Every structure is written in structure tokens, then in C-alpha cells.
Structure 1
Amino acid sequence: MPLFVGRENELETLERAYDADVFQMVVVYGRRRVGKTTLLTHFAQDKPTLFFTAQQQTDADNLADFSVEIAQFFSLPPGTRFDGWDGALQFLAEQARREPFLFVFDEFPYAAEANPSLVSKMQIAIDHHFAQTKACLALCGSDQGFMESEVLGKKSPLHGRRTAQIRVRPFDYLTSARMVPTVSAEDAFRYYACVGGVPYYLAQIDESRPFLDNIADLFFSTDGLLYEEPLMLLRQELREPAVYNSILRAIGSGATRRGEIAARAGLEATAVSKYLATLERLDIIERVVPFGENPQTSRKGLYRFADACYDFWYTFVMPAVGDIEGGAGRIVAEGLSDEVLGTYLGHRFERVCSQWLLEESLAGRLPIRASSFGQWWGTDPALRQQDDVDVVAADRASKTALIGECKWRNSFDETEVLEKLHHRADLVKGYRIEFFYLFSKNPLSTATLRKMKASGDEFSVTLDDLYRHR
């Protein structure tokens, strides 16, 4: 059986719905490969479940397949067929009145696209039949745009019928590490930084092989699962994949501001906004602003990759496509030395450190009750130059915060880094900086650790510390 990890919150939501004494409709959606079907299958394994997965085929074929699943689940005579969705759904509701069960309708958008009236038919079935039962219905789909507009949207016939919704997202860094339990903390981080938190991708890693061998096979071979995966997902999810590809290429080459992205992608600055918004909605990119600024009004917003797989692909794979197609992919992969990957991993290390701060705050292990997290960048008025703070964690209520520096290097001047970190305390306006964290790949020197302990406001966190609770 495939390894199942994480999803505790999602399972809790599903269990609550299943145990309710009234009809429940749970909407489950998220990008392809993220583990929606695996989640629902795991949840349903000890429950009476009618599990139907629609396909990209005609409405008649989907209805025929649905009839077969119903016949098997209720032990009806072979060859039982329903003439329409109305009759099939009404039959299920009648059965649910006698004995409640879990009804999973997977890839619902495929069925609804083949028969646009299905959404309305489902609404009628819920209002007139299922509402009087204790059945639990899970509508699941990978087309996030469809699920948000045609199932959850205000104009959808199904609006107001859902009792819970679950957007299944990629794993965080700790849960991702549980997918590769035997590798070192360093490799767990490197895999997360390059592959991301999509369970299906992580499941392809052979833990017995070196890191670069796995990366070479996944990304730098024309047969590799992830060689064309980002482009394939763009084609499946979006109507203008070429435009989105150009935008992502621009971001991968270092463009971070809207105008700069538009210029590199060959688009008008006014036209690029809607494409960026769509990529944000899909969690492929994100817009970030300096900590403390209003995301709606700040003019300092930067776009960057949220999804690590896309980030790695557009940074290292896209520029080498010609070489990979020519058969030199493994040579390209072998060139990904620590020096080449260093800057990329350094940026990803900052994201992991921020995730760690959130987890520590939730567990009550930080010296402040932080609820807001981010980074800061801008002009240092004292030095009259640009500067940044890698991580910020703040308690909005008390206006106290901690700041941190993240170093993905084997060695560095520890004293100098701590001195600069204290100087940056004045840069984050509106908060009193009370604590200073130094995140590092390797343990700090004994002398530095002794000084930090004596200070009372400085803390050291190593890569092993980040992965202690995996």
C-alpha cells in the first residue's frame, strides 16, 4: 500500500462531516497530483462508500460507468442502467434514507463539462432528496477554477449547499520529509526545495540513491516524470499556456516586479495582471510585500515562485531543455554543485525557516505568541543602502517581534552576522524586536553559542533542529 502521511486536519474535517447527524456536502479540490483521491480513499477505507470517478468522455459513458458503480455497491442485477442523472441521484438518496453512506464523486468537473446541466441536477437532488438523509457527499475536482466558480461560486446552483470545503495543498517541509524518512535532514531539505511538497512527486524518490541521481532522473531525462510536468499542468489547467509559460520564464530568470515581468514576457504591463492573478490562485507564484505593509496598497510587492517544483524547473531545467533533448541531461544535472545550487537553496531555506517559526509558535515553543510571519526589505536609513531581514515573526497584539537571519553556508563570520542582525532591529517599524534567531545549515561554534546563551535574547537553530520533529 502506498505511504500515507499527514493530512490530519483534512481527515478531521471529513470525519466531522461523516459523523454529523444530517446531510453533509464536502467540497474537496486542489491541483492535480496533490493527493485528493488518495486522501478520500484513505478516509473511506473503513466506511461504506460509493466511490465514482468521472472521466473525460461523453456524458452517456460517464452515466453508464456511474450506473455500474451503483449496481455493484448496492448488489443490483448486472446490466442495471439509469436513463439519466436525475434518476440515479434520486435512487441514491432513497437508499441513504434507509442506511447512510459516504458518496464520493471524484473528478466532478469532467462529468459536469460533459453535461452542463449536471450541477443543477445535483442541486435539485440535494434540496429535494439528499437533504432528508444522513448521507455524506464529497464532491472532488482538480480543475480549481471550475470548483471555485461552478461549485463554490455565488452564481453556482450549488452555492450555499456545501457544509465544508477542503482545499488540498502540497505538504509543508516537515510532512514532505516523512515521505522520505530514511534520508538525512540535508537531503530532505534539498528534495523539498527542488521537488516541492506534492506527494506524488515525493513518492518517486528512491531513498537508496544519491540526491543528484534522483534529480537527474526526475528532471533532466526526457523520460523523467518532472521533465515536462510543469508545462503539462499549464496546458491542462489554463487556456493560454504559452502566455503563462512566458511569464513563468520571466520570473525564473529573475524578474520580480509586474512591469519587469511583462517586458521580459513581451506583454503589456496592463495585460499581465490577470495572468499573474491566475498563477497566484493556482499557488504557482505569490506576491509578497515587506513585513508590516498592506498587501493591497504596497508598491513594493514582488512576485516569486510559491511552488518549489516550478521554481526549480524554470531556474535550472528550462534553460537546459536543448541540452536535455540532445541527450546531455545527466551532464547538466551533475553540474548542479553546491556552489551552483547555493543561492537557490538559500532562498528556499528562508521559506523553511519561516514555516518552522509558525510550527513552533503553534506549539507554544517561541518566546512570543507570534501570529504574523514574513520578510522585510527596503532602505536602511542609517547606512543609506538596501537591506533585508530574512524572517520576521510578530505578535500583533503586543507589538513584539523576533527577527532572524538564515545562512545556507558551511561557514560564515558568526559574530558579524549577529551584529548586523541586531542593527536591523530598527528596520521593522511598528514592532519592538525582542529576540534574534540565527538559522544555519551547520552548528555554530562553541564560543558563539556560549555568547548567545549569555545574551538571553539570541537563539541558534540548525538544519537538524528544523527537522527534529519530522
Structure 2
Amino acid sequence: MRKPAEMFDRDREWSALDRFVTDEQPGATLGVVSGRRRQGKTFLLDAICRAADGFYFGATEATDAVSLRRMSAALTEYAKPATAYHFADWSEVADALLSLGRERPVPVVIDEFPYLAKANPELPSILQQAFGPLREQRTQSRTRLLLCGSALSFMGRLLSGTAPLRGRAGLELVVPTLDHRQAARFWGVDDDPRLALQVHAVVGGTPAYRREFARGDAPAGPDDFDDWVIRTVLNPETPLFREARYLLAEEPDLRDTALYLSVLGAVAEGNATRGGIAGHLGRKAVDIAHPINVLEDAGLLRRDADAFREKRSTYQIAEPLIAFHHAIMRPVWDQLERPGAAERVWQASRRRFTSNVLGPHFEQVCREWALHHADPELFGGLPARVGHGTVTDQAARRSYEVDLAVVGIPDGATRPPLLAIGEAKWNDTMGLGHLERLGRVREAITRAGRYDTGGTRLVLCGGAGFNEALLERARKDREVVLVSPADLYGG
């Protein structure tokens, strides 16, 4: 099926759905589509239904009886039976949906499925029975049922462990946010890598933030970035202004909003460990285990294992807009709500944005680039994982923070190869001093003996470039790798 011309990217997702809904094999099949809000899931699924003449139903927060009436009316309008449907329960709905695929493969989408399951917790079990392997209604149907939801914690449990639908799904598709390269093209700033990184540090890769929330407003160039921030995300008249708060409110498992906001605020302040977060909140570490786990499940918090210290992890906010909100907006929220205060607040917060938001974001983009985009030959092998961590030099009695640690595939060796270590600086022109520091870090890692450092390369990611001495050294030394913003964007 032809993807709609107005749909940006999503080629992988469209192809997966195309294969699923046009499968001619007999027997109804079940698919699960999930992803954070505002990623275009509804647009994607509605388009696939339109292309294949399928049935789309968007659930709402309602009682079970109201949802059954809505489904009855929607399916009556679509199928046009001799008499209108008046479903008494969801078992009848399931059989009616299966009957749609008697003659041909038919996509059937139930969007925001968690709303229905919240009103009727038995619904997953009802679908499990309807999709029984030997049940005649299933074997004689080619309905391609797609359950979609934005509540990541709920959708993640739908097919896991002992869940009723475990083993029933033939498709499990996650619609991700756009990565930094896709987002740059989407916002029309891919010709300026530094500007693209700044925009991505504010709004990330969520498509709706440009099309609906900012009404297509994008920075016209680097000189327009400050004005763009003031007129969009810091403007109380735009939906972007309160979006970070709404993202929390829309997650069904986040009941104590104040506690979850405080956890995110602690991380935004630089408290990256569980103990650091607990100390910032004045609580014991065991007391914040649940909110941290819930925020992880919701896709709002990301846990990164320390590449050099076993059983030690750090946390980062996974959604750039939330990180921006907590670092820049939340401390001065009362001021920002007053008309005309945005420019004054932004001028006072610009330095904080660079150090607390843009710097850490640049490091994360460098790690994602190393894992997903960089030529493996650059590091001398294919990365198995890319992380960061703290290296302790026992001899010198000091510790080093490593922004980039590229670990290779062990391939039978007793120790995994450490392909590269790196440092990322957004606003500093990098020189030989940075390279010498990395050399000392590599020596400390070698003494620790956890990794094979025989081929470890030294990577310097410089947002503001490199001095001539470092450039000359990199031209002569193959183990020195320099990465600019243009490299991150494929330039």
C-alpha cells in the first residue's frame, strides 16, 4: 500500500503494518502498537485503515456501557448490517470484529485500548478466548486486529509474563520518537547541525510539537533560536508551554504527581543516582524505588548502567521537553505565567540551558550516534553497547567521568573489547589537553583489567570545534577520532 505523501518518515513502521494487514494467510491475527503520546500513532493507523478499507475505533475515557454503545454505533456505520448492532458485552464485539475478515484481510484498529481495559479489566482475557488457536471464528477469519495505546506501562504488560494475551500477538510494533537526524529534517534545520542540536535539546523528536503545538513555527536560523524559544515553549499562549506537565498527568500509573515531578526535578538538578535522588527529596532510597520504576516504564526516565562500575546506574530524563521544563521553566513558573516575562526569563536562563540541558543532551546524542549511526570501522568494530560511567584511578586516587564508552562484542574472549572512550564538550574548543586526559583514563581502565584496551581509540566530540594542534595530531594518529556536530548529522 502507498504511504500517504504527508506522512514524514515512518517507512519502517508503515512497511511492518503493510505486511501485517495484507497477509493473505487464513486465521485472524493480533498485533500491538505502542509508543509515547504525540508520535503520530493515530495518524499512522488511521492511514493504514483508509488504505485497506479497514475499521478504526478510537476509545475514550468512559464507562464500559458507554464504550459498548460507541462501538456498536461505529461498527454499524462501517459494516452496515441488516439490523444495527447492540452489543451486550465485549465477547459479542470480538466475534463481530472477527466476522469482518471472512472474505479478505481487514485491518481493525482499537486505538487507546488502555481506556477500554481500565473500564473492563477482563477485556484482555476476552480477546484471549476470542483468538483461541482452534476456535472456528478465528480460523475462518482474516481480521488483522491492532490494539494501540500510549500508556507505555500498560502496553508493556499486555504481552509479558503471564498476561492473557501472551503468545497471541503476531506483531509488536513500537513507534519511537524521531532520532536527532530525522528530527533535524522534520524541523527543517538539517543544514545547520549546531542549531539542530539546540532545537532537539528543547523539543526532542516528537512530530506533534512542530505541526500542532508550534503551528509549524521553526527557527529561521541560528540568530532566531532565542526568539523561537521565547515565542513557542516559553509562551503561555502555546500548548508547548504546559505540555511537560500534561505528559505526566496523562500517564494512568502516575497517581502522586507531586512526587513524580520531584523525582524528575531532582534528576534535572544533576542528581543522577538513586541515592542522590533520594537525598535531594529527603527520603530513603527504598522509598523512591517505585516512582523511579514507574517513570522508567512510562518512558520518561532512562536508566543507564555504569560502563565501569558493576551494579551502579545513573538516571537521565528521557524526554527533552521535560528536561527543559524542569531545568528552565519550573523554578520560575510563576514568573513565566505573567505576560511578557518570557524574554527576561530566557536571558537569565541561557547559561543554565547550556550547562544543564544542552551539554548533557549533546553527550547523549553522541552516544546514540556511536551506537546507531557511526561507521563501525571508525571504532575498529561493531559496538555491542554504548554507555558512560566513572573510572576510578587507584594509583592517582582520583576519578574520571567518561562521556562515551563503546564496548565491542566479546566473541569468545574472556574480556570484552573496549573499542573507544570519549569526551564530549558542547561549548569548549577541544585541544591536546583533552586528549591527554583520555589517555590517562585509558591507562586506568587497563590497570583495572575489566576490558581489553589493546585497540581502544580516543574520541573527542566537540560542539565548538578543535584547535589546530589537535587537528594535526588526529591527521597523524589513527587512534584519535574527532567528531563534530556535522559528523553527528551525517555531514
TM over 0.5: yes
Which of these residues, 107, 115, 125, is aligned with residue 110 of structure 1? 115
Residue equivalent to 1:141:
149
Residue identity matched to 1:66: M
Residue equivalent to 1:458:
480
Residue identity matched to 2:256: E
Which of these residues, 166, 184, 187, is aligned with residue 180 of structure 1? 187
Which of these residues, 214, 217, 237, is aligned with residue 206 of structure 1? 217
Residue equivalent to 2:337:
325
CA distance in 2 between counterparts of 1:421 and 1:406 reads: 11
- Cα deviation code 1:422-450 (max 9, x no counterpart): 22212334121432222112443455323
Q: Once the 2 structures are TM-superposed, how far is the Cα of residue 293 of structure 1 from its aligned partner?
A: 4.0
- Cα deviation code 1:248-285 (max 9, x no counterpart): 22222232232332233243332111111111122222
Residue identity matched to 1:167: V
Q: Which runs of 5+ in 1 are unaligned?
A: none
Residue identity matched to 2:246: M
- Cα deviation code 1:47-72 (max 9, x no counterpart): 22111111112333322322233233
Residue equivalent to 1:379:
392
Q: Give secondary structure in 2 for the equivalent of 1:119.
A: helix
Q: Once the 2 structures are TM-superposed, how far is the Cα of residue 147 of structure 1 from its aligned partner?
A: 2.4
Is 1:63 matched with 2:68? Answer: yes
Indicate conservation of the 8 Å contact 1:29/1:166, yes or no: yes
Q: Once the 2 structures are TM-superposed, how far is the Cα of residue 103 of structure 1 from its aligned partner?
A: 0.6
Judge which range, 51-60 or 110-119, deviates more: 110-119
Q: Once the 2 structures are TM-superposed, how far is the Cα of residue 354 of structure 1 from its aligned partner?
A: 0.9
Indicate conservation of the 8 Å contact 1:14/1:26, yes or no: no
Is 1:197 matched with 2:205? Answer: yes
Indicate conservation of the 8 Å contact 1:219/1:317, yes or no: no
Q: Give secondary structure in 2 for the equivalent of 1:310.
A: helix
Change (3 A) 1:216 1:25: same
Residue equivalent to 1:427:
444
Which of these residues, 392, 401, 406, is aligned with residue 419 of structure 2? 401
Residue equivalent to 2:434:
417
Aligned length: 463
Indicate conservation of the 8 Å contact 2:323/2:357, yes or no: no
Residue identity matched to 2:442: A
Q: Once the 2 structures are TM-superposed, how far is the Cα of residue 105 of structure 1 from its aligned partner?
A: 0.7
* Cα RMSD for the two superposed structures: 2.6
- Cα deviation code 1:334-365 (max 9, x no counterpart): 33435752453121111111111112357766
Residue equivalent to 2:42:
37
Q: Give secondary structure in 1 for the equivalent of 2:21.
A: helix
Indicate conservation of the 8 Å contact 1:368/1:400, yes or no: no
Q: Give secondary structure in 1 for the equivalent of 2:187.
A: coil
Residue identity matched to 1:156: A
Change (3 A) 1:261 1:81: same
Q: Once the 2 structures are TM-superposed, how far is the Cα of residue 79 of structure 1 from its aligned partner?
A: 5.3
Is 1:224 matched with 2:238? Answer: yes
Residue identity matched to 2:199: Y
Q: Give secondary structure in 2 for the equivalent of 1:371.
A: strand
Q: Once the 2 structures are TM-superposed, how far is the Cα of residue 139 of structure 1 from its aligned partner?
A: 0.3
Residue equivalent to 1:313:
325
Q: Give secondary structure in 2 for the equivalent of 1:337.
A: helix
Residue equivalent to 2:414:
none
Indicate conservation of the 8 Å contact 1:5/1:175, yes or no: no
Indicate conservation of the 8 Å contact 1:193/1:348, yes or no: yes
Change (3 A) 1:156 1:342: closer
Residue equivalent to 2:55:
50
Change (3 A) 1:44 1:437: farther
Which of these residues, 272, 287, 304, is aligned with residue 256 of structure 1? 272
Indicate conservation of the 8 Å contact 1:59/1:114, yes or no: yes
Q: Once the 2 structures are TM-superposed, how far is the Cα of residue 137 of structure 1 from its aligned partner?
A: 1.1
CA distance in 1 between counterparts of 2:168 and 2:38 reads: 27
Residue equivalent to 2:249:
235
Residue identity matched to 1:132: Q
